[in-house]
Structure 1
Amino acid sequence: MPRLFFALDLAEKQNLAARKQIVALKAQLSEAGKPVQDNNLHLTLAFLGNVTAQHTSRLRKQANHIKAGIIETNTGELGFFNRSGAIWLGLDPVPDGLSSLARTLQSLSSSITGKDFDQEYIPHITLLRNATVPQLVPLTPLSLTFRRFGLFVSEPDPEQKGARYQCLQHWPLNEGHTGEF
Structure 2
Amino acid sequence: MLNTSDSSERLFFSLKFSASQQKQLLPYQQLLSQQFPTAKPVAVDNLHLTLFFLGQVTTAQKLHLLTAAQSLTMPPFQLTLDTLAAFTKPKILYLAPFAVPAELRGLQQQLAKICKAQGFNEIHDCYRPHVTLLRHVSVNENFNRQIAPLPLVISEFALYQSVNIEGSVRYLPLHTFSG
1:9/1:41 contact within 8 Å kept? no
Q: Distance in 2 between matches of 1:101 and 1:119?
A: 18
SS state at 2:18 partner: coil
Unpaired segments ≥5 residues, structure 1: 174-181
Q: Distance in 2 between matches of 1:11 and 1:157?
A: 21
Is 1:6–2:9 an aligned residue pair?
A: no
1:32/1:133 contact within 8 Å kept? no
1:28 to 27, 31, 36: 31
Q: Give the strand-richer structure, 1 or 2.
A: 2
Q: What is aligned with 1:178?
A: none
1:52 to 46, 50, 58: 58
2:74/2:156 contact within 8 Å kept? no
Is 1:78–2:84 an aligned residue pair?
A: yes
SS state at 2:100 partner: coil
Superposed structure 1 runs of 4+ greater than 2 Å apart: 18-21, 134-139
SS state at 1:76 partner: strand
- Which deviates more, 134-143 or 101-110? 134-143
Q: What is aligned with 2:5?
A: none
Q: What is aligned with 2:120?
A: 115
1:170 to 157, 168, 176: 176
Unpaired segments ≥5 residues, structure 2: 1-7
SS state at 1:66 partner: coil
Q: What is aligned with 2:155?
A: 147
SS state at 1:7 partner: strand
Is 1:96–2:102 an aligned residue pair?
A: yes
Q: What is aligned with 1:105?
A: 111
Q: CA deviation at 1:32?
A: 4.9
Q: CA deviation at 1:138?
A: 6.6
Q: What is aligned with 1:177?
A: none
Q: 1:26 to 1:61 in 2, by over 3 A?
A: same
**Matched letter for residue 15 of structure 2:** L
* Number of residue pairs aligned between Structure 1 and Structure 2: 166
SS state at 2:53 partner: strand
Q: 1:124 to 1:70 in 2, by over 3 A?
A: same
Backbone CA RMSD of aligned residues: 1.9
- Which deviates more, 20-29 or 92-101? 20-29
Q: Distance in 1 between matches of 2:15 and 2:117?
A: 21
1:36/1:128 contact within 8 Å kept? yes
Q: CA deviation at 1:21?
A: 3.5
Deviation digits for residues 35-86 of structure 1, max 9, x if unmatched?
Answer: 1100001111111111111101111111111122212121111111111111
SS state at 1:21 partner: helix
Q: CA deviation at 1:20?
A: 2.7
Q: Distance in 1 between matches of 2:104 and 2:51?
A: 8
Q: Distance in 1 between matches of 2:146 and 2:83?
A: 9
